[in-house]
Amino acid sequence: MWRRVPVPVVAAARLHVGRRVSLTKVFEARHVELFAELTGDRNPLHLDAAYAAGTAFGKPIVHGVLVNGLISAVLGVHFPGCVLLRQDIRFPAPLFLGEQVVAEAEVRKVKMSFASVAVTCSVRDKVVMEGEVTVRMPEKPSVE
């Protein structure tokens, strides 16, 4: 039988409106190759410089889902135990190998143990991913 457990004050305190957190990463070719091996996504746009040279991008780009993984990392590091429930993301510009990308998250709304978080990944003055995610903070069992 399931029973509701109240959200501990500690978890709610870490997740307050306006809290901003970030993480910085540089993706190299080995990261993209490992991601392709793990997922099976062998799109030549990510792995083949000659192929990518003939596209609008002119060179290989990092998988969008790999960039999105930074959001999971920044949330997991700064809000341990949170669970990603929903996401709405866009990729307005490509991320190229070797570019330093900053993943940022800002808590916009908190209701009980759920939070709406605005997220972006950017390189200098270009945004390579943006959107919003909904997370659930961990509920700890009550002590009886």
Residue 49 lies in a domain: no
Measured torsion, CA atoms of residues 10, 72, 18, 135, in degrees rounded to the nearest 10: -60
| Ordered strands of the 126-136 beta sheet | 20-26, 100-111, 114-123, 126-136, 83-90
Residue 48 lies in a domain: no
Q: Which domain holds residue 102?
A: 9-26+63-136
Phi, psi (degrees; rounded to nearest 5) at 100: -85, 120
Summarised one tens digit per residue, pLDDT across range 18-74 is 999 999 999 999 999 999 999 999 999 999 999 999 999 999 999 999 999 999 999
Q: What is the domain count for the chain?
A: 1
Say if residue 1's pLDDT is above 60.
Answer: no
Residue 36 lies in a domain: no
Residue 121 lies in a domain: yes
Residue 41 lies in a domain: no
The pTM for the full model equals 0.83
* CATH at 104: 3.10.129.10
CA distances, 12 to each of 21, 128, 137 (Å): 16, 30, 8
Residue 32 lies in a domain: no
Summarised one tens digit per residue, pLDDT across range 73-112 is 999 999 999 999 999 999 999 999 999 999 999 999 999 8
* Beta-strand relationship, 126-136 and 100-111: unpaired
